[in-house]
Amino acid sequence: MDEDKKKLWKKAIKWPLYSVAILPVLITGAYLLNQYEEVKIYNLISFTLAAILILLWENLTNDLYDAETGIDEFKFHSIVNLVKNKNIISFIAYTSLVIGLLIILIISVSTSINIFILVAACCFLGYLYQGPPFRLGYQGLGEPLCWLAFGPFAYSAVLIALNPSNIYFKDIPWKVSLLLGSGPSLATTLVLFCSHFHQISEDKKHGKNSPLVRLGAKKGSQFVPWIIFTIYIFQLFTIVYGFIPVFCILYLLSFPQAKRLINLLKSSYAKPSAIKNCKFIAIKFQTLNGIGLITGLIFNYLLNK
């Protein structure tokens, strides 16, 4: 395989993106460890594997659905353009989904059926994003769907699955999931938002009215600092409120990447080639933000122990 092909495959796999699937499990695990001094470790490992498989389905089918609309015609690192066999991609995608959901079902049978219902809801929200006939991402609703799926629904499911005291068997922990997951899921939504900066003209041409198509690159770039500010202020609120320990201020580990992202978009919002990788800066921000929360929670647990 030549060097150019390797680079295309590296872009297609987008392995850093899988942090958005892993972090909700790890953040929740760290929170429960801090609260109850233990966590269901086998469920944590199983849920992480299932989350990766389900996100693989999401990413592969998104490429398939985009190929149907022609929006990825010149996206050479699209899986569809690299493999050139939609049947194989579809088989791998739905096999990943089935295995992922089967793992979740096994966890649910031993814990609570609500876990499976919540994860299935996440998958449905993911399908609504790109899947026909809905394609709500083309109506500018991708970001709200992303926040819901990776926020209250995902965090509620993981809270039930990993909780050692089994206190969420009957009632879905919406309040806890909102306090714990709203900030990190908004950081995940920021990744999706930033992924469209370099392709506004292509999205507009193919009728994909993403928020950036509606706002334009300049207003969109001015919106990013407010998203980051909202994430930080909300997470600070959860510390002041006493929901998470003060050590979780380590979420500010993400600040250098936040500053980098804001400065890049401010100076180069009108240059698609210069900002084509801004989503990877957003991923680094999202990942470091989550790592900071996890580190703070675990440090507090060790200190109290």
Its pTM surpasses 0.85 = yes
Residues with Cβ within 8 Å of 12's Cβ and at least 6 positions away in sequence, in order, are 77, 78, 79, 82
Q: Mind listing the domains of the chain with CATH numbers? A: 3-304 (1.10.600)
Residue-by-residue pLDDT tens, the chain, 305 positions: 555 555 555 555 566 788 999 999 999 999 999 999 899 999 999 999 999 999 999 988 888 887 777 655 545 456 666 666 778 888 999 999 999 999 999 999 989 999 999 999 999 999 999 888 898 988 989 999 999 999 999 999 999 999 988 777 778 999 999 999 999 999 999 999 998 887 888 878 777 888 998 989 899 999 999 999 999 999 999 999 999 999 999 999 999 999 999 999 999 888 888 888 899 999 999 999 999 999 999 999 999 87
- Which residue has 């493999």 as its token pair? 83
